[in-house]
Amino acid sequence: SVPLSFFGGIGGASKQGILVKGSNYLEALAKTETVVFDKTGTLTKGTFQVTAVHPDRISKGELLELAAMAESYSEHPISRSLREAYQKPVDASRVTDVEEISGHGVRAKVDGHDVYAGNGKWMDRIGASWRNCHRTGTVVHVAVDGEYAGHIVISDAVKPDAAAAIEALKREGVKKTVMLTGDVKAVGEAVAREIGIDEVHAELLPGDKVDQVERLLKNTSGKGKLAFVGDGINDAPVLSRADIGIAMGGLGSDAAIEAADIVLMDDKPSKLAVAVRISRKTLRIVR
């Protein structure tokens, strides 16, 4: 049977907007040694803003329109920012054959033309020669009918409590913090440096994130546990692989909330440190 104080711990957590799906997760959380974070939407706001538009062969307005159109069916934070920058409602009747390839980007037919929007890997896959961008930010490249059409730079900001959350986790005894991202190295490293993350791995596909978690699980000592925290867009497999899968409840997808063991309702990374503190207190009472 579950000791009574566990109910106290789960109840105390829920008052803080931390949903714990079972007493076993509270117990595991108290033994957390490694915390692995997804970047976008978890440590960063996930609300990107377009900061530059660099077209090739076409106008800025045309480039933005093509990207917004191609991305019109996507729920990715990147696509939302492109639609916002476009400022007009997208005429859905002009967009067909939409496909989203996780960790790469999207493809769609816009007015009958094949439009691809995504990262350098995505451009490589279709054989479009793309230009590198000197600016720091996440770059969305666009190709039309196999020809490069330019790129759009968007940037995201770290959440205001992210650095404090990492510090608080260290105080609660967490030995290692890791960030995994599908974003480019320069962006990943800048974010990790800004908030004090120990280890960063960039340019990962969703499957690579699972591999990284497998590797980190092997390196976690004896009773130590590994927690993974993600906003859930493409993260369900990683959430279920970790000892403790934690999803952001606000931005997160339904699939992620379903796959998670713990849900942070207000999307604040600092709530994870609160959860660890509650779990440690609860376990001390139980013992």
- Catalytic site positions: 38
Q: Is the CB of 24 or the CB of 84 nearer to ligand ADP?
A: 84
Q: How many CA atoms lie within 13 A of 187 on its CB side?
A: 25
Q: For the segment 138-167, give every residue that binds ligand ADP (CB under 6 A).
A: 138, 140
Smallest distance from ligand ADP to CB 186, Å: 12
Q: Is the CB of 20 or the CB of 69 nearer to ligand ADP?
A: 69
Cα 80 versus chain centre, distance: 14
Contact predicate 141/130, CB 8 Å = yes
Q: How far apart are CA 173 and CA 186, in angstroms?
A: 29
* Residue 121, number of CB atoms within 10 A of its CB: 16
* Residue 274, number of CB atoms within 10 A of its CB: 19
Q: Which stretch binds ligand ADP (CB under 6 A): 9-17, 23-31, 102-110, 258-266?
A: 102-110
Q: For the segment 177-206, give every residue that binds ligand ADP (CB under 6 A).
A: 181-183
Copy the structure tokens of residue 161: 């409590």
Q: Is the CB of 90 or the CB of 251 nearer to Mg ion?
A: 251
Q: Does 274 bind ligand ADP (CB under 6 A)?
A: no
Q: Does 212 bind ligand ADP (CB under 6 A)?
A: no
Q: Does 105 bind ligand ADP (CB under 6 A)?
A: yes
Q: Does 40 bind ligand ADP (CB under 6 A)?
A: yes
Q: Does 119 bind ligand ADP (CB under 6 A)?
A: yes
Residue 181's binding partner out of ligand ADP, Mg ion, none, with CB under 5 to 8 Å set by partner kind: ligand ADP
Q: Does 38 bind ligand ADP (CB under 6 A)?
A: yes
User: Contact positions toward Mg ion, by CB under 5 A?
Assistant: 38, 40, 233
Residue 20 is classified by DSSP as E
Q: Give the CA angle between residues 170, 172, 175 to the nearest 5°.
A: 45
Residue 118's binding partner out of ligand ADP, Mg ion, none, with CB under 5 to 8 Å set by partner kind: ligand ADP
φ and ψ at residue 159, rounded to 5 degrees: -65, 145
Beta strand residue intervals within the chain, DSSP E: 18-20, 32-38, 49-55, 95-101, 105-110, 113-118, 138-144, 147-155, 176-180, 199-201, 225-230, 244-248, 262-264
Q: How far apart are CA 243 and CA 28, in angstroms?
A: 7
Residue 140's binding partner out of ligand ADP, Mg ion, none, with CB under 5 to 8 Å set by partner kind: ligand ADP
Q: Is the CB of 33 or the CB of 71 nearer to Mg ion?
A: 71
Smallest distance from ligand ADP to CB 58, Å: 18
Q: Does 253 bind ligand ADP (CB under 6 A)?
A: no
Q: Which of 128, 240, 104, 264 is nearest to 184 (CA)?
A: 104
* Order of strands, sheet of 18-20, starting from the edge strand that comes earlier in the sequence: 18-20, 262-264, 244-248, 225-230, 32-38, 176-180, 199-201
Which of 32, 177, 212, 234 contacts ligand ADP by CB under 6 A?
A: 234
Q: How far apart are CA 113 and CA 107, in angstroms?
A: 10
Residue 245's binding partner out of Mg ion, ligand ADP, none, with CB under 5 to 8 Å set by partner kind: none
Q: Which stretch binds ligand ADP (CB under 6 A): 25-33, 103-111, 247-255, 268-276?
A: 103-111
- The residues binding ligand ADP (CB under 6 A) are 38-40, 71, 74, 76, 78-79, 100, 103-106, 117-119, 138, 140, 181-183, 233-234
